[in-house]
Amino acid sequence: MTARHRPLNPRRITVLAYHTFTQLVRMKVFYFLGAFAVILIAANFLRLPTHAAPEAVGVQLLYSIKSSCAGAMTLFSIVMAIVATGLLLPKDVEDRTLYTILAKPVPRLDYLLGKFFGVAALIFVSLLVMDLLMTGALQLRMGGVLEQQRAAGEAFGHPPEMIEAQLAETRALGPTWALQGAVFVIFLQSVVIISVALLLSTFSTSTLFTAIVGFLVVFIGFFQADAREAYFHGTGVLGKIGSAIMTTALPDLQLYKLIDAVIEGRPLEAFDLLKVTGVTLFYFVVYTFVSWLVIARKEF
Amino acid sequence: MEPAVEIENLTKVFPAHFGGRPVRAVDRVSIRIEPGEVYGLIGPNGSGKSTTMKALLGLVAPTSGTCRIFGADSLAVDSREQVGFLPENPYFYKHLSGAETLRFYGKLCGLRGKSLEARVDELLELVDLVEARDRRLGGYSKGMLQRIGLAQALVQEPRLVILDEPTAGVDPIGSRQIRDLVLALRERGITVFLCSHLLEQVQEVCDRVGIIFRGRMIREGRLEEMLSIEDQTELVLRDARPELVEEIRRLIEAADGAELVRAGRPRTTLERLFLRETVDRNE
């Protein structure tokens, strides 16, 4: 095989990824961002019942903006990862466009990776836009909230140290680096889900099948760690092997729930971020390798 | 010289599904196509034409036998560098325009920059789609889709072009355009391997044909040899006086062993009549 026809050619993968990205953009998936903007505006006017002290006024507002935006981002990334990935491969087979691509000097692994990176790029760009909107809204609102809290603290005659401590707590609920890290974790979670959906679509012939099984895998993924604990806890070496198989076969998405803590204002540890990145890489490599094994032998 | 296509004893058996029986789609088929030839594989639906083509493109793996393109095993990615393929009823990506489609396939073949743009312009001109270059394929007619499909097949200047039912569903005008393109490819020395069940078109463009039936190659050879009737001779006269025709007739009757089978005016085909009354009239 000549060098330029070997698998993992970055230029060819980029061509396929860019094409996949364009295809999805022209399918008007970015309309979802309009829905996100509506959620953001609604969150700005949401008045949740609060038991906070008067000097902690506005905290619930910041919390509501963050949790609504994070929820919308998670939902968008999961739906997009499953549906878009599940749609692309069967559609290419059905329309026979896959024949014309594989009839060119394109290794099947490069085709798969092109699809993967195209969907991943779309989700990355969408999350980036949503993150910018969320950060902007938080920044705008936090200025006002800090002013209100300072005024309330002074009216109650609290000492300056106490007021500063309250303001520091409030700042932790604003647009922090931990929040950016948490958005990145949402992206990493979608990388795992794209890998799963890609694997499913290599042997499925319909988008519906991929979507249903994909959502099922995601659903199980959120409870997998608990199930693993219940089934294999204290069962010795065999239990550990069973646990490892279960963790590999079905992604453990509980690991990606770091965002909940960040929304409540807790910091995101660098170790946790590194661990999640490593786990994501592991799932990506394993699922893509299996996808390649399936598609390399597939006949069209 | 290395053959453009060399298929040796190709057999493809599709495994049984849900208790059914295995399907032997292609049974010990051998085909050899020399560079520059236009070869037509004809047969009824389900006779194994498309499976043979897919095996040649590495889209299905042979159960036994081998397929080679200019000496390279067709299962290897390298073999595809020399091949352009137009599948039956291709849809392509509707969200791309004609020019974007050619750019996409060109980039997959490693073309870049000015050479790619020049190639896109050249191909759009060749298939007569210059005016529709920026229109999305969703708005193309069937004939236009077939032509852009042919252009994408030619994007990397392949030495072999494989066409699976290139005129399926296309009207007679579009069909003639595709036929003319195939003839233009032959002029340029490009090998063409096409399969069709439209026999008249195959007859018009092919040098050699193979007839495949129920997965087996039942007849193969040069077209003129296969079509000529050994014990008959054809004379076509223009502006012949009735007396001359009568004299020829008398001579034949007087000759020992010869027999006049048919005499009269030769007929055109319905397709030629249609084209003469529509396109040629406009020209």
Say if residue A54's pLDDT is above 70: no
Inter-chain CB proximity A22 and B95 less than 8 Å = yes
In this prediction, residue A234 carries a pLDDT of 67
Statement to judge: residues B126 and B176 lie in one domain: yes
Statement to judge: residues B177 and B41 lie in one domain: yes
In this prediction, residue A246 carries a pLDDT of 76
Does residue B237 lie in a domain region?
A: no
Amino acid letter, residue A76: F
Reported as a single tens digit per residue, the pLDDT across A142-201 is 888 888 888 888 888 888 888 888 888 888 888 889 999 999 999 999 999 999 999 999
In this prediction, residue B196 carries a pLDDT of 83
Inter-chain CB proximity B81 and A5 less than 8 Å = yes
Q: How many CB pairs under 8 A join A and B?
A: 90
In this prediction, residue B108 carries a pLDDT of 94
Say if residue B174's pLDDT is above 90: no
Does residue B233 lie in a domain region?
A: no
Q: Where are the domains of chain A?
A: 3-297
Containing structural domain, residue B264: 242-282
Reported as a single tens digit per residue, the pLDDT across B163-173 is 998 887 777 88
Q: Average of pLDDT values for A284-296?
A: 94
Reported as a single tens digit per residue, the pLDDT across B86-132 is 988 777 899 999 999 999 999 999 999 999 999 999 999 988 899 99
Site from A104, A108, A115, A300 to mutate, B interface, most B CB atoms within 10 angstroms: A104
Inter-chain CB proximity A103 and B59 less than 8 Å = yes
Inter-chain CB proximity B59 and A300 less than 8 Å = yes
CATH number at residue B70: 3.40.50.300
Does residue B235 lie in a domain region?
A: no
Q: Average of pLDDT values for A218-227?
A: 83
Does residue B234 lie in a domain region?
A: no
Our count of domains for chain B comes to: 2
In this prediction, residue A57 carries a pLDDT of 66
Q: Are A183 and A126 in contact (CB under 8 A)?
A: no
Statement to judge: residues B55 and B155 lie in one domain: yes
Statement to judge: residues B204 and B140 lie in one domain: yes
Statement to judge: residues B109 and B186 lie in one domain: yes
Q: What chain B residue is nearest to A295 in terms of C-alpha separation?
A: B59
Percent of chain A with pLDDT over 90: 38
Work out whether strand B38-42 and strand B208-213 pair parallel, antiparallel, or are unpaired: parallel
Statement to judge: residues B139 and B184 lie in one domain: yes
Residue B179 makes CB contacts below 8 A (sequence gap 6+) with: B167, B201, B204, B205
Residue among A23, A107, A299 whose CB faces B77 most closely: A107
Q: Cβ of B276: how many Cβ atoms within 10 Å?
A: 11
Chain B residues close to A114, C-beta within 8 Å: none
